[in-house]
Amino acid sequence: MSHFQPELRQRAEELVALYPRSRSAMLPLLHLAQEQDGYLSEAGIEEVAGLTGTTSADVRGTASFYDMFHLEPVGKYVVGVCTNIACLLAGGEEFLEHASQTLGCAVGATSEDGLFTLEETECLADCDKAPCVQVNHRYVRTTTPESFDTLVGDLRKGVHDADIPSHGTLIRVKRNGGLRASHDEIREQRATSSAARAKRAEGNS
């Protein structure tokens, strides 16, 4: 019995099929697992291990290297505030402190209602709109404490449920066709075409 919901399981299998080796699908599959469960649950990790032909220890070992994967449950909204150099110069540290007060949780912790997890992030590459804030990896571009508070209020009311999905950066990243030609087919074509090119080049000289 698959831990992934049927639709997700199908997406996962399609993802694996895209790569020459199934283990290469590890990172996208972990994103999918997180999309369903909100974090990497034991069952989600097992499922990814099965799909990639690895073990759950191997999956956990890989996942723990990457900042975006949560090995413990997190809030519905993960709020990331950058304090790296460009944001530091724009008051990022003070902004993070403000966010902590507004959300009612310490940096790295989850609010009591389970709605928000606050993270201090490294550079999010949006430095012309510093200090940079992401909610579930969507840029929200609230650069003042006031606009941040408004955003938090809206998030509580569910105003952003459509544009900020709860978890899952790949929720709208779907390959919708052009399934890849088999490697044998491509190799055969390549051999034919390079032979043809060699012939043409010979004709030219």
Partner 1 sequence: MATLDAPRIVSSRAEFEDSYTLARYLETGGYEGLRKTLTMFPEAVAAEVDAASLLGRGGAGFPAGRKWSMLRKSPVSYLVVNGDESEPATFKDHFLVERDPHQLVEGVIIAAYALQVAQAFIYIRGEFALGLERVQQAVNDAYAHGALGSKIFDSDFSLDIVVHPGAGAYICGEETALIEGLEGKRGFPRIKPPFFPAVTGLYGEPTVVNNVETMSNLPWIITNGGAAFAALGVGKSTGTRLFALAGRVKNPGVYEVEMVKNTFRDIIYDPRLGGGITDDRALKAFIPGGVSAPWFGPDMLDLALGQDEVGAQGSMLGSGSIVVLDETSCPVRAAWRITKFFSRESCGQCTPCREGSGWIERAMYRLEHGGGREEDLALVLDLCDNIAPGLGWPPQQTTICVLGSSIPSSVHSAIQMFRDDFIAHVELGRCPHD
The contact set with partner 1 (CB under 8 A) reads: 18-21, 23-28, 30-31, 52, 54, 61-62, 65-69, 83-86, 88-89, 122-128, 130, 134, 136-139, 169-170, 172-178, 180-181, 183, 185-187, 189-190, 192-194, 196-197, 201
Query: Bridge-partner residues for 134, per DSSP?
Result: 80, 139
Alpha carbons 49 and 63: distance in angstroms, whole number: 11
Least separation in angstroms between residue 119's CB and partner 1 is 10
Which DSSP state fits 79? Answer: E
Residue number with CB closer to partner 1 (71 or 113): 71
Among candidate residues 134, 57, 63, the one with its CA nearest the CA of residue 92: 134
Those residues whose C-beta lies under 8 Å from the C-beta of residue 136, and which sit 6 or more positions away, are 77, 78, 164, 165, 166, 167, 168, 169
Q: Tokens 């940096």 belong to which residue?
A: 107
Least separation in angstroms between residue 112's CB and partner 1 is 26
**CA atoms within a 13 Å half-sphere pointing along the CA-CB vector of 48:** 29
Residue number with CB closer to partner 1 (53 or 113): 53
Residue number with CB closer to partner 1 (112 or 205): 205
Under a CB-based contact definition with an 8 Å cutoff, are residues 16 and 29 in contact? yes
Alpha carbons 122 and 108: distance in angstroms, whole number: 13
Residue number with CB closer to partner 1 (100 or 136): 136
Least separation in angstroms between residue 117's CB and partner 1 is 14
Kindly list the distances between the CA atom of residue 173 and the CA atoms of 100, 158, 170, 201, in Å, as whole numbers in the listed order.
31, 23, 5, 42
Residue number with CB closer to partner 1 (26 or 118): 26
Least separation in angstroms between residue 96's CB and partner 1 is 12
Least separation in angstroms between residue 146's CB and partner 1 is 20
Residue number with CB closer to partner 1 (88 or 109): 88
Least separation in angstroms between residue 153's CB and partner 1 is 23
